[in-house]
Amino acid sequence: MSSQGSASPATHGAPDAAPDVSVVLAGGGTAGHVSPMIAIARAVERLMPQARVSMIGTEVGLETRLVPEAGYALDTVEKVPMPRRPSRDLLSVPARLRRAVAGAAEILRRREADVVVGVGGYVCTPVYLAARRLGVPIVVHEANARPGLANRLGARFAAHVGTAFEGTPLKRAEWVGMPMSRQISQLDRDAARASAREQLGLDPERTTLVVTGGSSGALSLNSAVASAVDDLLSGGAQVLHLTGRDKAVTVADAGSATGSETGADPSDGPSDADAPLSRPGYHQREYLDGMELAYAAADLIIARSGAATVCEVAAVTLPAVFVPLPVGNGEQELNARELVDAGGALLVKDEHFTRAWIRRNVVPLLEDPRMLLTMRDHAAERGIADADERVASAALTAAGVPEDRLPADEAR
């Protein structure tokens, strides 16, 4: 049964303008779904300030926190996952799905939805089915190179289908890029570099490598970088290592990098193996609230290849080394493939990302500004900075808003 979330109605938009169109966005579960959804919502409001914007999620995903924090009304429907193996749970799916569709339909009627924008996740299947039943047009955005089940369904009868990656196999899909926060999509790295490095406590003049395994960290990635820290610093570069919460890199993690192979004197650093790894030029933090600072500071980034990360580094033209997460069905490697093939990034399997690989591939990059500049130019070929407004414009058009009511591209 659907219920209205605890968030107050959206406070965005022009208060003295009569509501003109109702846009309902659906998605959730992970930040990979919620963040693009919020970016699209903000773009809708820029294009049409009087629009009413609300969102539908489930009661258990990150949307329950992130959507209210962003200031939007959140309605919820029951989460109906498809069991991966035959079980008794499979028998309950049809009834649960019918309830979820009915709940979604009630929400769409109450919100007087003129268009539904779905970004994927469990919630989208019942919302798409409800929208189709009510005759509400659907716009789909797929963030991954391998589309999810819900968006494969929605794309069959959508008015518009947008994808973050050009090769995503959805019929009638248009490559629009990944909706992302304006702090990232509009980032001028050249202009922001000095300030970003100063805020992060970095040397403004040194070539800078940023390493991140995502908000939850990546133990194997952290260990490999720790083992190669002296190699990375040897050519004069500095390293900003975002390790993830509660995953600080220690002296013990550095392994042989603290020993005689590198010529390092163990007495130079902490003797306690559990102490945080410390080197001149090596800076570690557990996380940053805003990755735009790290992107501005970096000349090169080492990261997992989640869809958002791949699209963000392309949008800001930042050369990258991608180490796909070694779980799942290989979607992270697929996400990275187009940017890698274009020459804007390198790709290495997690099992091959070792100190020896870093020595052979990363260290030479940090010592060759011309190669980094070439990678930057190739990244720019795949970067799209206005995906949020492309999807928002498609949604408003599907809702029946005349084109002359929307700002021209050059006016946005």
Determine the number of helices (DSSP H) and then strands (DSSP E) in the chain. 17, 14
Predicted pLDDT of residue 14 = 41
By the 10 Å C-beta count (0-12 exposed, 13-18 middle, 19+ buried), 123 is classed as buried
pLDDT band per the 50, 70, 90 thresholds, residue 13: very low
pLDDT band per the 50, 70, 90 thresholds, residue 375: very high
Q: Where are the beta strands (DSSP E) in 164-319?
A: 173-175, 208-212, 238-242, 282-285, 300-303
**Range 68-90 average pLDDT:** 77
Helix axes 31-47, 63-70, angle to 10 degrees: 20
Question: What distance lies between CA 283 and its chain's CA centroid?
Answer: 24
Instruction: Tell me if domain 3-182+385-411 and domain 187-382 are identical in fold.
Output: yes
Domain boundaries, the chain: 3-182+385-411, 187-382
Position 54, amino acid: S
User: Tokens 């716009």 correspond to what residue?
Assistant: 139
For the residues of 90-133, what is the DSSP string, one character each?
HHHHHHHHHHHHHHHHHHHHHTT-SEEEE--STTHHHHHHHHHH
pLDDT at 96 over 60: yes
Predicted pLDDT of residue 410 = 54
Q: What are the tens digits of pLDDT across the range 297-318?
A: 999 999 999 999 999 999 999 9
pLDDT at 232 over 50: yes
pTM, 2 dp: 0.87
**Range 269-286 average pLDDT:** 82
Predicted pLDDT of residue 79 = 83
For the residues of 336-360, what is the DSSP string, one character each?
HHHHHHTTSEEE--GGG-SHHHIII
Q: What are the tens digits of pLDDT across the range 171-204?
A: 899 999 999 999 999 999 999 999 999 999 999 9
Predicted pLDDT of residue 85 = 55
Find all residues with CB under 8 Å of 81, minimum gap 6, and list them: 122
Predicted pLDDT of residue 89 = 59
Predicted pLDDT of residue 16 = 42
Which CATH superfamily hosts domain 3-182+385-411?
Answer: Glycogen Phosphorylase B; (3.40.50.2000)
**CATH number assigned to the domain covering 187-382:** 3.40.50.2000
pLDDT band per the 50, 70, 90 thresholds, residue 157: very high
Strands 138-142 and 73-76: unpaired
Position 329, amino acid: N
Q: Which of 329, 328, 332, 372 is nearest to 349 (CA)?
A: 332
H-state helical runs in 48-87: 63-70
Predicted pLDDT of residue 291 = 93
